[in-house]
Amino acid sequence: MTAFSLEPAQLAWCAALRTLAAERLRPLAGKGEPGHVNRTLVAELGSLGLLGRLFTSGALDLCLMRESLAYACTEAETALALQGLGAHPVHAYGTREQRARWLPRVTAGAAIAAFALSEPGAGSDAAALELRAEPDAARGNRPSAATALTATPEGVARWRLTGEKCWISNAPEADFYTVFARTTPAAGARGVTAFLVPADRPGLTGRGLDMLSPHPIGALDFDAVPVTADDVLGEVDRGFRVAMGTLNLFRPSVGAFAVGMAQAALDATLAHTAGRDAFGGKLRDLQAVSHQVAEMALRTEAARLMVHAAASAYDADSPDVPQRSAMAKLLATETAQYVVDTAVQLHGARALQRGHLLEHLYREVRAPRVYEGASEVQRGIIAKELYARQEAR
């Protein structure tokens, strides 16, 4: 396989996924309650074997799945991606016991996973996490649960998590959370630990948030939630590696999600402009329209190629994965925003009507430019990698 094309078998699989999403997954998505986890949809993803592929195939395969599902059913794409994001740290960094307990249920669609990184005061600056782990002796002076999350020692290899996480997908309905908490104060990225926290731990509560696009997303409150060494993912004080390792895999696939939406918007625009009568001909006959459609196609294909290149680099264990992942997410999400917005413009008022494909995509396309590292963060990563490479020469 070259860097610029897919094998016929891969193309056929993508086509089959688009059909599957349209015929089997979209009807289930339509029956879900906005703003809540659609467990029936997740279970169907499991029965189709798609959740299992999250842990048995590479980054390119993940990108092909996400793009194909996004093209026909964004709800199914998002449900699959969130299972992967929340459970990948368990797959990659968990103990044998942790993996045995949770991964079979995740792949079957029977357990809902969540990735709990962001806090009210630590979104783009993930290294600024303050969710604390406190000893029982300090509980009398503990800040309220509305503060950033920390982890303070409670004897040997025991902590109490105190604070808040915010904008967590699948919260508060997930069955377990990959939680990142500060175990060493004022240590930046070197003092964060990743914990696997089941949702039924005492002191853990949450609430849903009402967002522009009604996804299951919420805030979590940790009121001295107990965790032990058995709950640690990876190593103590090395949780930032867990977070970045997960994001380096999933950032290109966020780009694939965006490409899927862009392609859906482009195809809808091609059909609309080819059939719409205007000014004595079809919309496509107007140069101002046809040139915009050409630009939409150009940018979509460029983004797709960059996503595939970044995923291939990850699968090859290339040293420039952070830069390529950042580039792929940045270009693809910004491109999708442009393509969907242009599609709305060329469709006119009908695209703004509730229930129209483009009305749906217009709400869906905005968030990927923010989550898993905002566009500005991606530019910072790219620049940092470029200058580091220059200094190493």
Which residue did the predictor score with more confidence, 212 or 336? 336
pLDDT at 371 over 90: no
**Which tokens sit at 248?**
């380096």
pLDDT, residue 146, reads: 44
Task: Tell me the pairing of strands 113-116 and 176-182.
Answer: parallel
Are 224 and 134 within 8 A, CB to CB?
yes
pLDDT greater than 70 at residue 228: yes
Helix spans in 48-196 (H):
50-53, 59-72, 74-93, 96-108
**CA nearest neighbour of 335 among 266, 289, 273, 242:** 266
Q: What is the pLDDT of residue 136?
A: 52
What confidence tier does 141 reach under pLDDT thresholds 50, 70, 90? Answer: very low
Give the CA angle between residues 107, 232, 156 to the nearest 5°.
150
The tens digit of pLDDT for each residue in 285-306 reads: 999 999 999 999 999 999 999 9
pTM: 0.90
Position 131 scores a pLDDT of 78
Reported confidence tier of residue 148, pLDDT bands at 50, 70, 90: low
Query: If you average pLDDT over residues 349-366, what whole number do you get?
Result: 95
Catalytic residues: 372
The predicted structure's pLDDT at residue 128: 63
Average pLDDT of the residues of the chain = 91
